[in-house]
Amino acid sequence: AQTVTQSQPEMSVQEAETVTLSCTYDTSENNYYLFWYKQPPSRQMILVIRQEAYKQQNATENRFSVNFQKAAKSFSLKISDSQLGDTAMYFCAFTGTSGTYKYIFGTGTRLKVLA
Amino acid sequence: SQTIHQWPATLVQPVGSPLSLECTVEGTSNPNLYWYRQAAGRGLQLLFYSVGIGQISSEVPQNLSASRPQDRQFILSSKKLLLSDSGFYLCAWRLAGFYNEQFFGPGTRLTVL
């Protein structure tokens, strides 16, 4: 069975600093997609970044980048120049490509950006 | 562009009362649709998903049910609510046939008293 693990329930970072959120997953599939979602206090789930497993290059979106290590089954999110608006719950998610319709979510990391 | 709507935004219901939450998607056809529940401070629990009109897959046996009467409409229902049904309910969609990201609605906060 596929699993997604986020081992950091809570983290904090000073404004303008860099923080890395960890995510590991387990799957027997060779091709799949990984995502990071942000859930601010409004509770709206917002896609931050996605990575396709067959792509070697790590995805980046402005201040957000990932470190995708396929062999280690690791998918960490780096937030550079942290801003107060980055304060949110962050979820790592996985979906396979072998005909599945399901997404597997981690339990989340609560990030607080300190002024 | 595509948008997803959920209503109501907030709902307070007594134990034993019925429930109907609605989700609609605009700007796309034949989306895959999903219902999730999120308990306070917790992750997302997949409840139901649908790949087409009238096609519902249930992930968790409980007193909830789902229906998809139209292509872009997804309804979550219960005949009799339990205290344990309280939570935040999220509807999501993705393009059919694509293993890409899901897009989420704004959610419904349900409190059962």
pLDDT in tens, B85-113: 999 999 999 988 776 889 999 999 999 99
Over chain A (115 residues), the average pLDDT of each successive run of 10 is 92 98 94 95 93 92 96 97 97 87 92 97
Interchain CB distance below 8 Å, B49 and A102? yes
How many CB contacts within 8 angstroms connect chain A with chain B? 47
A34 and A16 in contact (C-beta within 8 Å)? no
Pairwise CA distance, residues A105 & A35, whole Å: 9
Q: Which residue among A43, A103, A108 sits closest to B102, beta carbon to beta carbon?
A: A103
Chain A residues touching residue B38 (CB < 8 angstroms):
43
pLDDT tens, residue by residue, B4-46: 999 999 999 999 999 999 999 999 889 999 999 998 777 899 9
Which pLDDT score is estimated for B9?
A: 95
Please check the confidence at residue B2 and state whether its pLDDT lies above 90.
Answer: no
* Mean pLDDT taken over chain A: 94
Q: Which residue among A44, A101, A105 sits closest to B49, beta carbon to beta carbon?
A: A101
Which pLDDT score is estimated for A77?
A: 98
Scanning the structure block, which residue is given the tokens 């989700």? Answer: B23
Pairwise CA distance, residues A5 & A63, whole Å: 23
Which pLDDT score is estimated for B61?
A: 64
Mean pLDDT of B49-62: 88
